[in-house]
Amino acid sequence: MGTKSTRGAAYYYAGGEKIELTPADDLFAVEGGDARAAAGSHAVGRALTDGLRLVTRDELGDAAKGLGGSKSKYPVFRSHGAVVVALPEVRVEEGRKAQRAKLDKWLKEHGDDVTVVSRDGDRVVLRPVSESGADALALANVLTEEVGPEMAQARFIRVTPRPGT
């Protein structure tokens, strides 16, 4: 994808603030069938959604080789005590007419890399053609930095520890 975050650092924007992400090299977010196949057909890890599971390197053993890294479909990070999984979707909100025009122009210029999934008034949902959560994170950051919409953020699953643990 032609949209890369600066210096390969993992981050996202929330409320105008840049939030750093630390790769969680000991965790993987994998689709359920992939997790079962890698673990010898028994369910491993923690269910995040119907089809997505959070598994540890130990649970996968040798099958963990090649699953992580920047090419991962669902990269896993740590941030502020939570585990964060980046999904291959970007939500954009922009109510200002001039900025919406700038966003539309940007989307036309980058149509080979980005698919518009839905558009409802001031909200647009995008998906990187690569289907990569890492590319969605980079896409949201580039949109924030180049277009400046009110909000552009990759869709995340955030797993927080139970209180008192």
Q: What is the CATH number of the domain that holds 138?
A: 3.30.70
Strand boundaries in the chain, DSSP class E: 11-14, 17-20, 22-23, 27-31, 46-47, 52-56, 76-79, 82-93, 114-120, 123-128, 151-159
List beta partners, residue 11: 20
pLDDT of residue 51: 84
What is the mean pLDDT of the segment spanning 134-155?
Answer: 96
Structural domains of the chain, count: 1
pLDDT of residue 33: 61
In sequence order, which residues have a C-beta less than 8 Å from that of residue 57 and are 6 or more positions away?
A: 25, 26, 27, 28, 64
What is the mean pLDDT of the segment spanning 13-41?
Answer: 79
Neighbours of 119 (CB within 10 A): 13
Residue 61 lies in a domain: no
List beta partners, residue 79: 82
Residue 79 lies in a domain: no
**In 3-state terms, what secondary structure has residue 56?**
strand
Q: Over 90: is that where the pLDDT of 5 sits?
A: no
| 153: containing domain | 86-159
What is the mean pLDDT of the segment spanning 83-112?
Answer: 96
**The model's pTM:** 0.83
Residue 90 lies in a domain: yes
Residue 45 lies in a domain: no
Residue 128 lies in a domain: yes
> What interhelical angle do 133-146 and 97-109 show, nearest 10?
130
Percent share of the chain, pLDDT over 90: 62
How sure is the predictor about 162, in pLDDT bands with cuts at 50, 70 and 90? confident
